[in-house]
Structure 1
Amino acid sequence: MSSTPPGPVAARGREPVVVGVDSGGSGLRVAVARAGREVSAPLVSREPVRTGPGGISAPHLLEQLVPMVRSALADGERVVALAVGAAGMATLGDELRAGLPVALEREFGVARLALAADAVTAYAGALGQRPGAVVAAGTGMIALGTDLRTWRRADGWGHLLGDSGSGAWIGRAGLEAALRAHDGRGGGSAALLERAERLFGPAGGLPGQLYPRTDRAAVLASFAPEVAAAATGGDRVAREVLGRAAAHIAESARAVCPSGGEPEVSFTGGLFRMGEPLLAPLAEDLARLLPGVRRTPAEGDPLHGSVVIASALASESLRLPTDGRLLTVVGPGRL
């Protein structure tokens, strides 16, 4: 990186321009903000960034990111700060941390750069830079909390070892109940069996459909809405599955929520659009496990969070704690 930091951001180009990036399993999204205002229509690539022996591929990310950013910049504008949030950054981000700082300075003159796990950008999108806890849940599930000194993480261990309460977890539990009904064992649900066979075909073929797939978690999660529908229709087993999922989610929130003060907890991700069968028991469990906690609606999604972080870097007001895996900052930008 250049040893000469950029001057005040207001003097660079027509307006201060910051860039937020969200890289995940569904592709790459880029948002450009001027004077703190996010663009109304983020740029989107539907091609997920590849993962290779070195982790997340820096060349493949740059191959998509550079033309997307260039197309969004007006003449004379310069990127003063950029934040990349990526799924897998904590464990697979070594190549990005090694390659992106030099490449992005070369392409755009960026001297303020943040590389963050998607859980961190989900946190920043939901709560900004305030202390609290955020649970991000969709196919998977992870909880992240901070007192603005350190991060605390719970779960996010994937569908084989964890992600308890996630869409994949709910789908797997629902399919197990379907197979119990198919076998005539206790704990089964005829309603879930009917829904499983409508979606996947004869129950006996489920292992062959699931086990060879590399996208098993997504396939399992595709059955979670069926569990919610069965619960809404009054199926006891389906409601019990969602009740257990809610308990897992609340436990993870408690594990990361900072003590003292008036803690905030926010929930973000598609799982929480499942409705009353999940949200009602979740509210009860939160009241029991985190009495007095303030539940705060998420302000935005992980892409919004990456813009929040980039904007804080540009104004040298970043308060979120840096971490070798979860949040790496290059150049000035912290308080």
Structure 2
Amino acid sequence: MSGPTVLAVDLGKTSCRVRLSRGTAVLGDAAHQGSPGLAEDHGAELARHAILGALAGLHPDVQRMLPDLDGIGIGAAGAVAAPDAVQRLIRVLRADFDAPVAVISDGLCAHVGAFAGEPGTVLIAGTGAVVFTLDDGGLIRQVDGLGPWLGDEGSGRWIGQQGLQAALRAGDGRGPETTLRPVAAGLAGGLAALPGWVSAAGSPARTVGTFAPTVITHASDGDGAATAIVAKACALLALACSAARPDGGRVCVTGGLVSHPYFRAALEAALTDAGLSLISPRGDALAGAALIVHSRALPHEKRIIRG
């Protein structure tokens, strides 16, 4: 094996994934719980904790290669909104590993990986939701990705929140019965305890988003409320893609939501109805994180913070 030894990090709010590679050879992968985002209180410190937690999951033989790192590439939630936290994260990681660090937003990192640094349109549908389009001139346009309180429509957080609200409405008679109700009640020991369960979490958006897989599963099983939520989520995501590509075209979709076959099929149908076609990514966010480490010729370079 030859080539630089690179640590790639995909740091989201739900999970933190790491990949160590040397040249084109992958030495090891691991994952850990994510962090609330760099823009949150103690964002840099929590991000470092998540990264170190993920690295602890690597095989011991792979961990022994970490002192020889040639660079670290990170796609991190909140990087755009918190440049000071990005700089703090770079400083602590340089102290930990004595290697150059490059940081970009998690959404743009997914774009780099999906198109191997080339132009295109990508929808990232995970705990949050955002669309990025990069044209041939290097102009990047963003649609949504506005966070859990003002945007991220159709995201995992949105689906989870809608599912919990449907369960609460069924519980007090404001809405139809749904199979989501007993599952939601079991999360906190009763429906009435759900608000406290959400607010007690360090990251309410991430906590609410953990209910999204349940909603999607119940939709695939035919529950009316869950089916309606998934259909609306896919319509909102397709709308964001249409806003980014008003003339139609191809869209690459990444993120945890599309790992569920039912959701992927529903989203593909919504995109087709909007005059768009779904294509597979060339690489994942970890591939994008690795690419930004040493390549300074990417059209995304102005969005990368280095140190």
Among 252, 256, 266, the residue aligned to 1:281 = 266
Cα gap change, 1:197/1:106 in structure 2, threshold over 3 Å: closer, same or farther? Answer: closer
- Aligned to 1:39, the other structure's residue is in SS state strand
- Aligned to 1:248, the other structure's residue is in SS state helix
Shift of 1:246: 0.3
TM-score by length of 2: 0.79
Matched, 1:39 2:26: yes
Aligned equivalents of 1:103 and 1:220: distance in 2?
Answer: 30
- Aligned to 1:90, the other structure's residue is in SS state coil
Q: Which amino acid aligns with 2:304?
A: L
Q: Which amino acid aligns with 1:275?
A: P
- Aligned to 1:299, the other structure's residue is in SS state coil
Matched, 1:93 2:89: no
TM-score by length of 1: 0.73
Matched, 1:270 2:259: no
- Aligned to 1:154, the other structure's residue is in SS state strand
- Aligned to 1:295, the other structure's residue is in SS state strand
Shift of 1:117: 0.8
Among 60, 71, 74, the residue aligned to 1:84 = 74
Partners of 1:145 and 1:258 within 8 A in 2? no
Deviates more, 1:166-175 or 1:200-209: 200-209
Q: Within 5 Å, give how 1:191-270 maps onto structure 2.
A: 191-257=179-245, 263-270=249-256
Cα gap change, 1:130/1:257 in structure 2, threshold over 3 Å: closer, same or farther? Answer: farther
Tell me the C-alpha RMSD between the 2 structures.
Answer: 3.7
Aligned equivalents of 1:232 and 1:99: distance in 2?
Answer: 41
Among 146, 154, 170, the residue aligned to 1:157 = 146
| Equivalent in the alignment of 1:327 | 304
Aligned equivalents of 1:274 and 1:106: distance in 2?
Answer: 37
Cα gap change, 1:296/1:240 in structure 2, threshold over 3 Å: closer, same or farther? Answer: same
- Aligned to 1:89, the other structure's residue is in SS state coil
Shift of 1:169: 0.8
Aligned equivalents of 1:96 and 1:272: distance in 2?
Answer: 29
Residue by residue over 1:40-85, the C-alpha shift from the partner in whole angstroms, topping out at 9 and shown as x without a partner, is 4136676859967685359958x959x99994269xx772x54332
Q: Within 5 Å, give how 1:37-76 maps onto structure 2.
A: 37-42=24-29, 56-57=44-45, 60=48, 64=52, 71-72=64-65
Cα gap change, 1:257/1:40 in structure 2, threshold over 3 Å: closer, same or farther? Answer: farther
Aligned equivalents of 1:122 and 1:237: distance in 2?
Answer: 31
Identity of aligned residues (%): 30
Shift of 1:38: 4.0
Greater C-alpha radius of gyration: 1
Gaps of 5+ in 2: 57-61
Cα gap change, 1:38/1:116 in structure 2, threshold over 3 Å: closer, same or farther? Answer: farther
Cα gap change, 1:19/1:223 in structure 2, threshold over 3 Å: closer, same or farther? Answer: closer
Shift of 1:179: 1.7
Shift of 1:247: 0.8
Shift of 1:236: 1.7
- Aligned to 2:104, the other structure's residue is in SS state strand
Partners of 2:37 and 2:78 within 8 A in 1? no
| Equivalent in the alignment of 1:305 | 288
Shift of 1:257: 3.7
Residue by residue over 1:123-149, the C-alpha shift from the partner in whole angstroms, topping out at 9 and shown as x without a partner, is 122221222111222222222221141
